[in-house]
Amino acid sequence: MEVSTSNSRGIHLPGMEIAKASKNRYEVMIGPAHPGSGHMRIFVEVDGDIMVKVDPDIGFVHRTMEKLAEGRDWIQNIPLFERIAILDACNITLPYVRAVEKLLGIEAPERARYLRTLLCEINRVASHLYGMGIFGVFLGHSTLYMWGFGDREVFIDLAERLTGARLTHTYPVFGGVRRDIPDDFPEDARKATRYMRKRLNEYAKIFLNNPNIRSRLENVGVLTKNQAAELGLVGPNIRASGIKYDVRLNEPYEAYGDVDFEIPVFEEGDSLARAWARVEEIRQSLNIIDQVVTWLERNPRENFMHEKFWKTAPKLYKDVYEGKISYSPKYRIKLMPIFASLKVPPGKSFARVEAGRGEIVYYVESDGKNLPYRVRVVSPSFRNVIAFKYVMPGHRLMDLPAIYGSFDYFPPAFDR
């Protein structure tokens, strides 16, 4: 139904107007180009100030990743899938690598597993800090935004020291990782974790225990245990609702079986609990980073790549790594040539890991060629986005950002 508006020229921009849905109900479209919605649209039906119906409409940044993957070499798909959630690149590509490794019938050597765990946790901290920063902006708390993004830089630098790239690391590759840690990395990592532990207390002071923020978040967007299980949510969101589900715990991969960590679980299920879950998870990640770094220091620097691939490496590459030639910046890190023409044996495989926002699942099918036959991705944001539909109704329109931010959504991740 067209609602007459007060404009004299008879021009209408439907998306920019508030349309009448039924008696006393109006439809407001939030997004897709909106400072508070990210790249998605939410249809909201409001009755006064109360949201009655909320419908997230995803697909605005859909990039046909799964189809693109069918036209690229196996190794080329890793940088492609990083673009799903670029700030969590290692976690997002790791299950693809693991699934292909299953098809190849190889397993990464122990040192590579620890190195992967290290980058995963660095990514997780950076990703959570990013989410917290955005959450701060939603609540008009610019300090948290600046702190989150500023402190994230510490971990991005750490990742850069480890991999050579700030965000698009392409670090885990089939059979191992691209390179080993630099010699002075453990010191840097310990410094970063020490700093971050101190900062987390300050975060709690200015944000999570701030009475003004607490009144915005407490008992807002409550997701009960049953509801969370029924909707099939994942990640910190479900752990904030009292369900102890974490792939790192339920199905340990890489080095998670060997390191010591806890899964923080909260019972309240409201926005505040979801924010706390992230803070506590950062704390656990810092512990894991410390442990992994210690392990890497104590164990000899060898075998970060599976023997099958390592033996095809150029001689110079091997010599530099074995210390026969001292390293110089003119030696560019290159991948083993075998990856360019890698053919994966036919079969189907499946792998999952716990990314920053929750469980990410890859299903990979090969028909024995140098391209994948099918890659299916189920990203954590895709599984979490449905919660908006059930959590938001009944709240006020101004609660939308508070709930939205607390789920740490990432539109490019659910659109793929």
Least distance from C-beta 356 to another protein, angstroms? 22
Considering the complex, what minimum distance in angstroms separates the CB of residue 214 from another protein? 10
198 contributes a contact to another protein by CB under 8 A:
no
Nearest distance in Å: CB 142, another protein: 7
The distance of closest approach from Cβ of residue 285 to another protein in the complex, given in angstroms and rounded to an integer, is 22
104 and 285 Cβ atoms separated by less than 8 Å? no
57 is a site residue for another protein (CB under 8 A): no
Q: Which residue of 17, 73, 160, 297 would you call a contact of another protein, by CB under 8 A?
A: 17
Total residues binding another protein (CB under 8 A): 43
Site for another protein in 207-246 (CB under 8 A): 207, 210, 212-213, 215-216
Q: For another protein, which stretch binds (CB under 8 A), given 30-38, 82-90, 233-241, 362-370?
A: 30-38
72 or 396: CB nearest another protein: 396
Closest alpha carbon to 91 in 114, 119, 126: 119
Which of 3, 24, 49, 225 is close enough to bind another protein by CB under 8 A? Answer: 49
Stretch that binds another protein, among 231-239, 326-334, 352-360, 397-405 (CB under 8 A): 397-405
Applying CB under 8 A, does 307 fall inside the site for another protein? no
- Options 3, 24, 34, 105; binder of another protein; rule CB under 8 A: 34
- The residues that bridge with 44 in the sheet, in sequence order, are 28, 54
3-state secondary structure string, 68-82? HHCCCCCCCHHHHHH
Q: How far is 381 from 97, CA to CA, in rounded Å?
A: 20
Residues 6+ apart with CB under 8 A from 147: 133, 136, 199, 202, 203, 206
Contact (CB, 8 A) for 332 and 314 = no
Candidate list 4, 11, 198, 260; residue touching another protein; CB under 8 A: 11
Per CB under 8 A, the list member of 51, 119, 137, 162 interacting with another protein is 137
Binding site residues, another protein, CB under 8 A: 5-9, 11-13, 16-18, 28-29, 34-36, 49, 136-144, 146-147, 150, 206-207, 210, 212-213, 215-216, 396-402
